[in-house]
Amino acid sequence: MSDREARIQRLGEVLGIHRPVLCAPMARIAGGRLAAAVSSAGGLGFLGAGYGDPGWLGEEMTHVPDSSAVGIGLITWHMAPTAVRDALVHQPKAIWLSFGDPAPHIPEIHEAGALAVCQVGRVAEAVAAADAGADVVVVQGSEAGGHGRAGRALFGLVPEVADAVDVPIVAAGGISEPRGLRAATELGAAGVALGTALYATDEALDVEEAKRHLVATDGDSTVQSRVYDHVRGPLWPDEYVGRSVATELTNTWAGREDSMAADLDGIRDRYVEDVAQANMERRVVWAGEGVGAIDAIVPASSVVEAFPAIPSIG
């Protein structure tokens, strides 16, 4: 067995999955149906609980036949104080922590019998997460959709992290189909996390207009900015930006977000209307650079099943 095959097998054993694919916990996009569909297809689905709204999470978990087959993702830096505890009530297989220090929460996760999946954007963060007891480290490059650190591309970051930690690594950012898995695993990853590719699926929680917008977009049409933090809130820490499909708002304000202050109330009022009207020229659609590989809205199972099974697992 090659080192690459051994890494993939180890990820499968740790997570109990048959395909080396995780559903990124896209906040309010990855709901119960999407997470369950990914897990049923052999990967591991995560609900995107965001900052930890227990009402939303409770409703979405009603669409999950087996809570022990899915995970729950939380945005660590701004989550509610009881978010981890509220998520563990549902007895998920794993808790995915992103954008903040996971160390204070890992003991609670393990005590509840769940796995700790920690997302990182720097080598030092990966080492700290592994030292704190992370079971899996998700390495996110700047190609990823949604929020992340700017500056480090995935395929430069993965081998550095692989050399620095001794836990399974999952690569995230710009990967939408099996070629990305092959490249990532050659560099030291054991699997991949899909966000944008699973956003454009039947089960994802957004309007059809947003999903069709993803199908019509390519990677050249995505942009990193803090525009939608100012418009929607909350304002994330300075080290994070959000990658989305370019819009009239990002074309106008990206790189000079502080100048929005003079008319921010008016921009916000109009944005509420944009959302209600599904105005894709202005409404945010988070998307990574792998969006160009998406050519149809499909069932989530077909996305996951395009990836090869882990031979010794299933």
Residue with tokens 């480290």: 137
Please report the pLDDT score of residue 151 as a whole number: 87
The fraction of the chain above a pLDDT of 70, given in percent, is 99
> Is the bond preceding 178 in cis, omega lying within 30 degrees of 0?
no
Tens place of pLDDT for every residue, the chain, 314 residues? 899 999 999 999 999 999 999 999 999 999 999 999 999 999 999 999 999 999 999 999 999 999 999 999 999 999 999 999 999 999 999 999 999 999 999 999 999 999 999 999 999 999 999 999 999 999 999 999 999 998 899 999 999 999 999 999 999 999 999 999 999 999 999 999 999 999 999 999 999 999 999 999 999 999 999 999 999 999 999 999 999 999 999 999 999 999 998 999 999 999 999 999 999 999 999 999 999 999 999 999 999 999 999 987 54
Say yes or no: 166 and 118 in one domain: yes
Is 73 among the domain residues?
yes
Say yes or no: 298 and 276 in one domain: no
Considering the entire predicted model, what is its pTM? Answer: 0.96
Say yes or no: 83 and 185 in one domain: yes
Residues 6+ apart with CB under 8 A from 260: 227, 230, 231, 253, 267
Say yes or no: 78 and 148 in one domain: yes
| CB-based contact 47:60 (threshold 8 Å) | yes
Say yes or no: 185 and 55 in one domain: yes
Please report the pLDDT score of residue 314 as a whole number: 44
Say yes or no: 248 and 100 in one domain: no
| Total domains in the fold of the chain | 2
Residue 193: CATH number of its domain: 3.20.20.70
Is 312 among the domain residues?
no
Range of the domain at 16: 3-205+293-305
Q: How does the average pLDDT of the chain come out, rounded?
A: 96
For 209-258, the pLDDT digits (tens) are 999 999 999 999 999 999 999 999 999 999 999 999 999 999 999 999 99
For 181-197, the pLDDT digits (tens) are 999 999 999 999 999 99
Phi, psi torsion values for 115, nearest 5 degrees: -90, 150
Is 87 among the domain residues?
yes
